[in-house]
Structure 1
Amino acid sequence: MSTITSTATVATDRAARYGKQLASHLSRRSVTHWDASTGTGTLEMGDGAAHADLVSTPEALVITLTTAPDNADLYEDVIGRHLVRFGHRDELVASWTRSDGSTGTTQVHGKDGPDAP
């Protein structure tokens, strides 16, 4: 099976808080893990169809998603949409860059979807 990697570096000084909230929220339908001591976590979505690593830094939450190319738009949108909704007061933006050079999606609060800036 062919896979693609998408990365979003979401600028925020509260990356660990948002990473924990994202993992907690998505745990209802996914297998998630958050380690508060390291500020890192994982998401296993769609019965193994997608895997995401979450890493908090002082400047950003870095999300690295691995999935089939046909699923990239879907999982970028699910992760990014939830994250920017949580961080609407901080005006978070999730803009994805793909390993194959194709354009990823962008999620902005109130402007989700493929036509977002």
Structure 2
Amino acid sequence: ARYGKQLASHFSAKIDAHWDPETETGRCVFERENTRGTLDLSVEPNILLLNVEADPESIESVEHAVARHLVAFGKKDDLQVEFT
């Protein structure tokens, strides 16, 4: 949950992003030139679930931005990000 909160907080400086600590869910809306889509965040035990919805030309850009930031935040915990 802390990574979801940290990610939403970080992104909120540049995009519409929020985190609800009660439900441990969040949403980030990307509306930039080559990065358009939404990221929904939710928590399961020991897992931050990431659901990205974007046009085919934007999905890799959104996934890359999310993964890059999460890996940096979780470096000391050896955090891994995997999209399927």
TM-score by structure 1 length? 0.67
The sequence identity of aligned pairs, in percent, is: 39
Distance in 2 between the 1:49 and 1:73 partners? 10
**Larger deviation: 45-54 or 18-27?**
45-54
**Structure with higher RCO (Cα < 8 A, 6+ apart):** 1
Deviation at 1:72, TM superposition (A): 1.1
TM-score by structure 2 length? 0.91
Corresponding residue number in structure 2 for 1:83: 70
Aligned length: 82
Corresponding residue number in structure 2 for 1:27: 12
Secondary structure at the aligned position of 1:93 is classed as: coil
Deviation at 1:21, TM superposition (A): 0.2
> Which structure has the bigger radius of gyration?
1
Corresponding residue number in structure 2 for 1:92: 79
RMSD over aligned Cα, in angstroms?
Answer: 1.3
Deviation at 1:28, TM superposition (A): 1.1
The structure that is strand-richer by fraction is 1
Distance in 2 between the 1:29 and 1:36 partners? 21
Distance in 2 between the 1:38 and 1:58 partners? 13
Question: Contact 1:29/1:45 (CA < 8 Å) preserved in 2?
Answer: no
